[in-house]
Structure 1
Amino acid sequence: MGQKTTFSLDNKLEKCIIGRLRSAGCVFAEEEAKLLILEADSLEDLMKMVELRASGLPLEYVLGFTMFCGLRIEVKRGVFVPRQRTQFLVQQAKTLTRNCDIVVDLCCGSGAVGAAIADKLNQVFLHSADIDPVAVQCTSNNIKNMDGHVYQGDLYNALPHWLRGRVNIIVANVPYVPTDSIKLLPQEARLYEPKWALDGGTDGLDFKRKVAKEALHWLAPGGHLLVETSEIQAGQTLEIFVNAGLISKIARDEELDATVVIGTT
């Protein structure tokens, strides 16, 4: 991330910005202030960004991007913001990905997961899909230098038919928050992120059932399906995978508080 600020900013004003953010409840006010200062094109632009953040708008929407797995990922308003714990999903997928593999990123949102998997891997053929047109445009921008393809539609229905039986890796960071638990989410997610990117149905497992049920039709022999899940849902998700005919296991990272279920054909 380069230094963009071309206007004069004294320490007093910087402290005022930090104070404004802190009073608005921003826990990491100093770090956020530095990011806003770096990205602002003018003093007027900076103050607008500060007020947007102070109003509660997620920092990623104010900046227009987030850093994920070392990549600068564009994040448009209304698109799900990739979580840092999802790095574990990427790590698990990368250990299974080989050159010339076909990788599918379902419910791609910003496209961060697929982009991070394809990053620095030679000749990975990336296909991403999401039902939301804003997410599709966002993903298109984030994978344009990776020769990836992105499609709009509902899960596998968005994918070209010729991919059936040929996909080596499917990653799916699908919605998995139980409907009644959405009201318990942090305000930034609850108020600003689209409900369809969070709501996993009554038990949070609706989309996992759909993804697992169709996986065998799309995966190549020896292919893998990986989904992020909560620790409390891991056992149920594993059972869903097994019932779908996949050889399955659970991977867990305590430091990131991240859980991934992996199914293999």
Structure 2
Amino acid sequence: MPGPESLASPRFADLVPMLRAAGCVFAEDEAQLLLSEASSPAELFEWVERRVAGAPLECIVGWAEFCGLRIAVDPGVFVPRRRTELLVSEAAALMLEHIAPASSSAAVVDLCCGSGAVGVALASRVSLRELHSADIDSIAVECARRNVATVGGHVHRSDLYSALPARLKQRVQLIVVNAPYVPTRVLPTMPPEARIHEPPLSLDGGADGLNLHRRIIREAPEWLDPNGYLVIETSERQAAGTASLVAAAGLAPRIVHSEELDGTIVVGGPRGQ
């Protein structure tokens, strides 16, 4: 099969088999996107070569579709997954049903924000008084700043809560989190798009995948309003462990799973609600 550099003029019919041979499950969709986004045949050739080598499609074209939005994604930044749309939809529902009725707008913290996708998607659905997104990785922070600026939020380079404004303590209505939760031993089995091209610190959750969850959940009550909520993504297998950490922190846990999105989250809310 010819490589992309040997094609005189790139065509959909040429690209699909090359992408499929490289293991791209949605080769037709990817070929169409690459053709529509590339500004020249030379750029298209370069993009196809990178994709065949395993680079994430989103980092090649520079954006990812998430909750119907275009989120800028730079190389080396965690690519938002469709499963995380469950986190956004549940957080938006909590805002509309429990938080917004008691407050004209809300302060929200998005931890381990990566590209900032979760906070931006949430702000596109409900009114937020303040959005504070935080990540420890400098590359992710720069990417998130471009995205979060579109909704008027703030981005902090922060080890979890450490760089957040102290005035937010006991005043945050909602904490949303997509922290790393992949057990260290599982990392070598992940697809090359993640294993090679995304930073390990955005994936590695420690021996049982819950190292970051422990820290985040333990410190959450220090920042949450007494009637506030924590919503954290996990896996179906680890959900019980995440929920037990939420309960130990004094919050009422609830597990939510979506078969359609293959996503699982744990909600921690006020006791008695």
Contact 2:107 2:128 in 1 (8 A): no
Residue 240 (structure 2) pairs with residue 242 (structure 1) = no
Select which of 64, 74, 77 maps to 1:76: 74
Deviates more, 1:94-103 or 1:69-78: 94-103
Letter in 1 for 2:258: D
Distance 1:185 1:45 in 2: 28
Residue in 1 that maps onto 2:5: none
Deviates more, 1:221-230 or 1:19-28: 19-28
Residue in 1 that maps onto 2:210: 205
Residue 153 (structure 2) pairs with residue 155 (structure 1) = no
Residue in 1 that maps onto 2:120: 115
Residue in 2 that maps onto 1:63: 61
Residue in 2 that maps onto 1:17: 15
Distance 1:22 1:234 in 2: 34
Distance 1:125 1:30 in 2: 41
Structure 2 counterpart SS, 1:157: coil
Structure 2 counterpart SS, 1:202: coil
Structure 1 counterpart SS, 2:226: strand
Structure 2 counterpart SS, 1:174: coil
1:26-59 deviations in Å (ceiling 9; x for gaps): 1211110110111111111111111111111111
**1:56-205 correspondence runs (5 A):** 56-97=54-95, 98=100, 99-205=104-210
Q: Could you list the runs of 5+ residues in structure 1 that have no partner in the other structure? A: 1-8
Residue in 2 that maps onto 1:43: 41
Letter in 1 for 2:195: R
Over 3 Å counting, the alpha-carbon distance change for 1:124 and 1:70 in structure 2 is farther
Residue in 2 that maps onto 1:219: 224
Distance 2:126 2:240 in 1: 32
Structure 2 counterpart SS, 1:192: coil
Contact 2:106 2:127 in 1 (8 A): no
Letter in 2 for 1:213: R
Deviation, structure 1 residue 123:
4.0
Residue in 2 that maps onto 1:6: none
Deviation, structure 1 residue 69:
0.0
Report the RMSD for the aligned CA atoms in angstroms. 1.4
Contact 1:118 1:124 in 2 (8 A): no
- Kindly tell me the number of residue pairs found equivalent between the two proteins: 256
Letter in 2 for 1:32: E
Distance 1:74 1:185 in 2: 23
Q: Could you list the runs of 5+ residues in structure 2 that have no partner in the other structure? A: 1-7
Over 3 Å counting, the alpha-carbon distance change for 1:126 and 1:178 in structure 2 is same
Deviation, structure 1 residue 124:
3.7
Distance 1:45 1:249 in 2: 47
Distance 2:108 2:68 in 1: 20
Letter in 2 for 1:135: A
After TM superposition, the runs of 4+ consecutive aligned structure 1 residues lying more than 2 A away are: 120-124
